[in-house]
Amino acid sequence: MLLGVHCSIGGGFEKAVAEAKALQINTFQIFTKNQRQWKEKVVTAKEANVFQQHLTDSAVGMGFSHAIYLINVASAKPEVMENSMIALKGELDRCQALGLPYTVLHPGSNNKLSKMETADLIASKLNELFAADTSGRVKILLENTAGQGSSVGGKFEELRQIMQQLPEDRIGICFDTCHAYAAGYDIRTKTGIEDAMAELDARVGIKNVMAFHLNDSKGDLGSKLDRHHHIGEGKIGLEAFRYIINRFPDVPKVLETPKEQNMDQVNLARLKSLIED
């Protein structure tokens, strides 16, 4: 059962491994740089070696990254698009250096184009990025969004529009439960989550779901409100999490819930209680 949380790299990449070990989890997500700044970071050989050694010694398992929130390769502002391409290339390079197989990416937005036109632009820019990336190993996992404003990814067909134009070995999906619910997918019941997964399979292929963000929702169904809540304390309830935990044990699943008062341990315990024999 691959189950974990988003861990901090404050003080060094290896600190994320230490946090994961303390929580007794076997997968984790990190930011490889400050998530709210454009300033780039290059991973030194020493940093990479220390991280890998700690990971090996800990027996924690696999980690992956989340690209910074500023990235929007489809932006209508040329300077933002340019900075986004640089930042995403940097993210792939850091993941490659650290040995992380994936980075999770919010697809992007453009308030001057339709969502499908924006999806086409995103695919074009990602193809441009992949053509310049000689490593060819790190995958980008497109995250479904809450569908707010002009953002792409609230509907599965928008993700399909991007993915069908990209090399299969470089792209995948990260499924976020809060975002799906906020975007209008009613996953509160077993039937509801089954229907959502069936549609996701039809649109992008369930085999391409390579990570999950497990978050309850403070917002209502279809509210397009991206507000994460503790497991079982929001509007989604437990059935969606029970289904995902038991159907996808080998797919990395991480929490992005509020961390106050040691709630990571509480949320992890709630998820583990849903595991069926």
Which residues are marked as active site? Answer: 36, 66, 69, 106, 143, 176, 179, 213, 226, 228, 256
Helix (H) or strand (E) holding 65: strand 62-66
Taking residue 120's Cβ as centre, other Cβ atoms within 10 Å add up to: 17
Contacts of 51 (CB under 8 A, 6+ apart): 12, 13, 14, 17, 98, 99
Q: What is the DSSP string of 31-63?
A: -SS-TT-----PPPHHHHHHHHHHHHHHT--EE
Q: Identify whether the C-beta of residue 177 lies closer than 8 Å to the C-beta of residue 226.
A: no
φ and ψ at 87, to 5 degrees? -65, -40
Collapsing DSSP to helix, strand or coil, 171 comes out as: strand
